[in-house]
Structure 1
């Protein structure tokens, strides 16, 4: 399987279909997530009132559940949206932001993992290991402090434990559905100086999930952010201008861009 070629085909389908991507997401990054979704070629909705979350999710082509700014009522909205999406066969992408930081946050994340048919879980290595272990106290915030290198074997095991496709982002990005696994090498250190690039990556994955299988969606979303980040870094003077150019770079991606610039470090199936 040529994952770069498949990413390019997925981008073409995405821009032809312009699917509706419903978000219940982080208030810190909500605007960036909407703009990234638009730039890649999809259409975002960001409503999160529990009274309408289910209806919106059921009518969408994909659903993002991002736990960044967690509140009891957002969990209510996520559960209703997730149930409606599952009933309509709408793929659900979970971003368990900060899982492991507190008992409450970890338990709510595990609740979603256990009760919903998630297509993809996207997080850093600390968040993923916390979910796989089902315990809190290992990740104090949204940035990973785990310096252990992600390997093909580790990402495959995480996917098998969590029983879904996992996308682990960090210095080296990794994706696995339990059978197919890949390590990806695109990106720039400037991505860590702008808040919300992880949340935006989750939105990109959800956009691709509307038009492709979960593994291809996760790979395509991660490649899109990594390549766009590299291109934006080349013309940026710092985090402020990088933030500006990142959205432009997402918009300018083409199918051939993945073949030219994509960095597949290891692929195994």
Structure 2
């Protein structure tokens, strides 16, 4: 176990012991899966969307997650209301820019949120993050189609600096950076791409870790590593059974995580800000 794994392992126990409240303004496709995943991890989910209550809910939450998967103008307005309340009360605010780049409204809504509130962490695939900083990459619906010309670590660093927030780009390897320090997390399994809402749940899981750790680079690293370990373990259990069995096993593995779960199933390494390994 390397130094990063030792640091992040203790955070899982904090999540399980404190059961932080994660306020999710997420999309209708993934609400149930997100709630069940957070419960399995040990966190407490709440889904509140009404403009009349989102500020109050954000104020008492451990973290607030904004997910634009099924958006409309009224929801974006409510997200900004919740975000301003989170900012005022020192609550970490996470943005999942689902499908940014697929439509102008979707891209502009994500960019508006980033302008009008202080986002603590953005998590998306490479295409989504690229569109937030004006780099065109192919996207089909809400899924990335190509990796583009710029590496994910380099793109994440650029986005973190331009957007003034932590950035997570998920893929075959996950990247997290504050624009200076870069960490690469390996783990997970390709079956995650066959389960609707796996990325959305991940953003909420990152919120749960952010709720218990003020060092958000450490919190995000922990969330990515344990999420990847749970997926690896689930895939091992359900080899050749398909995504339905994997999804159920994945929730089970989230509930069975312990500080030693990373060993053999996820790894963390540091990289240079330009994307090259140190």
1:249 alignment counterpart: 253
Matches within 5 A, 1:177-256: 177-212=178-213, 213-236=215-238, 237-256=241-260
> What is the total number of aligned residue pairs between the two structures?
268
The answer to whether the 8 A contact 1:103-1:137 is kept is no
The match for 1:33 is 34
Higher helix proportion, which one? 1
Alignment-derived partner of residue 19 in structure 2: 18
- Note if contact 1:15-1:42 (Cα within 8 Å) is conserved in structure 2: yes
Q: Aligned to 1:45, what secondary structure does the other structure show?
A: strand
Contact 1:106 1:136 in 2 (8 A): no
Would you say the 8 A contact 1:60–1:90 is kept in 2? yes
Offset at residue 55 of structure 1 (A)? 0.8
Mapped partners of 1:150, 1:207: distance in 2: 28
Provide the residue aligned with 2:3 in structure 1.
2
CA shift, 1:180, in A, is 1.1
CA RMSD of the aligned region, Å? Answer: 1.8
In the alignment, is residue 94 of structure 1 matched against residue 81 of structure 2?
no
TM-score normalized by the length of structure 1: 0.94
Aligned residue number for residue 145 of structure 1: 145
Quote the offset at 1:51 in angstroms. Answer: 1.1
Range with bigger deviation, 146-155 or 88-97: 146-155
Query: How far off is 1:136 after superposition?
Result: 7.1
Superimposed CA distance per residue, residues 70-116 of structure 1 (whole angstroms, 9 cap, x where no aligned partner): 11221122011111111100000100000111111111100111111
In the aligned structure 2, how far is the partner of 1:128 from the partner of 1:60?
26
1:26 match: secondary structure:
coil
Per-residue CA deviations over 1:243-264 (Å, capped at 9, x if unaligned) read 1000111111111212443222
Contact 2:69 2:99 in 1 (8 A): yes
Q: Distance in 1 between matches of 2:235 and 2:137?
A: 34
Kindly indicate whether the alpha-carbon contact (under 8 Å) linking 1:150 and 1:172 is maintained by their aligned counterparts in 2: no
Does the Cα contact within 8 Å between 1:130 and 1:138 map onto a contact in 2?
no
Q: Where do 5+ consecutive residues of structure 2 fail to align? A: 274-278
The answer to whether the Cα contact below 8 Å between 1:48 and 1:74 also exists between their aligned partners in 2 is: yes
